[in-house]
Amino acid sequence: MDQKRDKSEILLAWYDEHARLMPWRVPPAQRQLGVLPDPYHVWLSEVMLQQTTVAAVRDYFVKFTQMWPTVSDLAAADDGDVMAAWAGLGYYARARNLLKCARVVAHDLEGVFPDNEAALLKLPGIGPYTAAAVSAIAFDVPATVLDGNVERVMARQFAVMEPLPDSKEALRELAASRTPQNRAGDYAQAVMDLGATVCTPRSPHCGVCPWADGCVARAQGIAAELPKKRKKAKVPTRVGVVYVARRCDGAVLLEQRPDKGLLGGMMGWPGSDWAQTQIDHDQPLDANWRTLPETVRHTFTHFHLHLTVMVTNIPDDPPVFRGVFVDSERFDANALPTVMRKVWKQAQLALIETGSDR
């Protein structure tokens, strides 16, 4: 038995016993009987899991597949409904690309996902990782799936000292060197499970690792130090202003953000641009605005955001320069992006306390 096969079979034996249960996953015992997962489920879960934890994704996946059981159902959905269902998962460009991809698959490919990386890469929003994951997990193609968990496992197995992201291609080649021809989907998920549950970022559980023998970093006593990463640049802080207006009938003023950019296409409170220094901007309507004493703070991937919150109660239906009033029956704070929900949580009490400002 060659080393590559030996390593993969050891890991697959471990996975057969320890595979995590996921609502989008077909357990290894069923896969070995020839049952493969729905490619729609694999693709949907992989898009959701980008930069998001499994725990956070589970309920969203169940909700999406209940609302839109097939890729054609999702393709026919209203953009606003999909963005509202996505609210809270973050990285909203993923939701926009989700719809674009679903519509290409539904309209141009008759609802059938391609079964190879090259064709998958041509679809909107699908990059090398997602193409490899869908190929392997949905179709058992021996594609090399490289996420953060796999990078960590390979960096430790081979004691790769070069820091990420510079070592990414080297780690991909090492991962490819162990990818078997058989049970490619189970193997891809096994390596990711190994990184998520055993070869963890801090305090790896080397004593129970199926790949402990032959792990170079473990032998050198440096497993917990790998993979090395470049020192991160200081995260900048941006500031902005948001306006929360409520009419006497309970309607609130909202506006849809531009399709491009952060929170693209989502509903939110009117406000200024977000910049490193406060910039001039226009109020969404003439009113007696009150500034709340505490800012709302939120962190995106590349910057911290501090928002000054302005609130007002409106007794009538004034002219609006930006946004539209949404009736209280139709307003759902849970459909707002997380930062906008934080604003609403802080503004609610102030609106109740102040009553009518005009």
Q: Block means of pLDDT (10 residues each) for the chain, length 358 residues?
A: 78 97 96 94 96 93 98 96 90 91 98 96 96 97 96 98 96 96 96 97 95 96 96 90 94 90 88 87 91 94 94 88 92 92 91 58
Q: Could you say which of 9, 46, 169, 329 is catalytic? A: 46
State pTM to two decimals.
Answer: 0.81
Pick the closest to residue 254 from 350, 352, 347, 356 (CA basis). Answer: 347
SS3 (DSSP) at 310: strand
pLDDT score for 257: 87
User: Which domains, and CATH codes, for the chain?
Assistant: 3-225 (1.10.340.30), 237-354 (3.90.79.10)
Catalytic annotation present for 329: no
Kindly state the DSSP code that residue 22 receives in the 8-state scheme.
Answer: -
Is 267 in contact with 335 (CB distance < 8 Å)? yes
Alpha-carbon distances, residue 242 vs 93, 95, 320 (angstroms):
22, 24, 15
Residue bearing tokens 């406060």: 278
Count the helix, strand and coil residues of the chain and give each as a percent rounded to the nearest 5.
45, 10, 45
Helix (H, G, I), strand (E, B) or coil at 271: strand
Task: Give per-residue burial for 283-317: e unless 16+ CB within 10 Å, then b.
Answer: bbbebebbebeebbebeeeeeebebbbbbbbbeee
pLDDT of residue 4: 63
- DSSP-assigned letters across all residues of 218-254: HHHT-GGG-S-BPPPPPPPEEEEEEEEEEETTS-EEE
**Quick one: tokens of 278?**
């406060």
